[in-house]
Amino acid sequence: MTAIVFPHACCNDGIITDLSGHGCIPGNLGLGELHSHFIVTDKESRMLSTNQKIAVLAHDNKTSGAWDDELQRMLWAFDSTGKMIHGSIPAERISGLGSAASKNTGNLAGQVPDMSFFPESGKWTDNGITTLPNGIMIQAFRRTIANDSRTGYSMTTPTNYPIAFPNGVWAVLCTKTTYVQIIASCESVTKQGFNVVTVKAVEAPTTESTINFLAIGY
């Protein structure tokens, strides 16, 4: 085996002992030419492409990147935690990512909405409102509604939503939380409100009761 021996180095039957310029490099393996593609300084190591126009960089502070010598700019760079701080990699080139990784944030077709597209107000109060990304609005609210003191007589109470629906209403549902003797229904529904009709079905010592409402519109 032929070998190139650099000064101040020992060579033992062609075994490589050092690639920093002091060592034994088997000439018939072509490692002498390979060595010209590595540049090591006190703070940085570079591995050059065959045409020496692209360099992969590794720094002592654990940052890394790739440099295009022809364009004189960084192609990509990572900080010491492995986070990419410059450049981009197409999502389809990274294993383990689902299809959502290639979608933009938004509420249009082919987009993925984030929580900013689910606004809500009045959580855990008597006037809860939330809106979905497609514009559907859900309102859950509680009201105290009067009823006629006489059994079998109805009473109508106009009631507004916490906020008016901008376009239309699909349904308004109600359920009572007090006095089972009082029957309630939601009628004459509009975008602004509806009528609550109550009837005392059997004798009960009350002229009002608490009702929960659920309204769905857009």
The predicted-structure confidence for 60-107, as pLDDT tens digits, reads as follows 999 999 999 888 998 889 999 989 898 887 777 778 888 887 788 988
HSE-up (13 A, CA, CB side) for residue 88: 5
Residues 16 and 54 both lie in one domain: yes
111 located within any domain: no
The three-state secondary structure class of 183 is: strand
Domain end call among 92, 111, 145: 92
Residues 20 and 61 both lie in one domain: yes
What's the CA gap between 127 and 122, in Å, rounded?
5
Q: Once rounded to an integer, what is the mean pLDDT over residues 42-61? A: 88
112 located within any domain: no
178 located within any domain: yes
Count the domains in the chain: 2
| CATH number of the CATH domain containing 185 | 2.60.40.3940
Burial of 78 (0-12, 13-18, 19+ CB in 10 A): middle
Residues 188 and 150 both lie in one domain: yes
Residues 141 and 64 both lie in one domain: no
114 located within any domain: no
Residues 183 and 138 both lie in one domain: yes
19 located within any domain: yes
Mean residue pLDDT of the chain comes to 84
63 located within any domain: yes
Indicate whether 27 pLDDT > 60: no
What's the CA gap between 107 and 115, in Å, rounded?
11
pTM score above 0.85: no
Residues 24 and 81 both lie in one domain: yes
Residues 131 and 209 both lie in one domain: yes
Residues 88 and 126 both lie in one domain: no
7 located within any domain: yes
Structural domain of residue 51, as residue ranges?
3-92
pLDDT digits (tens, 9 = 90+) for 148-177: 999 999 999 999 999 999 999 999 999 998
Structure tokens belonging to residue 107: 């509420």
Residues 80 and 136 both lie in one domain: no
Residues 150 and 61 both lie in one domain: no
What's the CA gap between 155 and 131, in Å, rounded?
32
Residues 69 and 14 both lie in one domain: yes
186 located within any domain: yes
Residues 135 and 209 both lie in one domain: yes
Structure tokens belonging to residue 205: 């010592």
Q: Once rounded to an integer, what is the mean pLDDT over residues 167-194? A: 95
Closest CA to 24 of 40, 2, 41, 45: 2
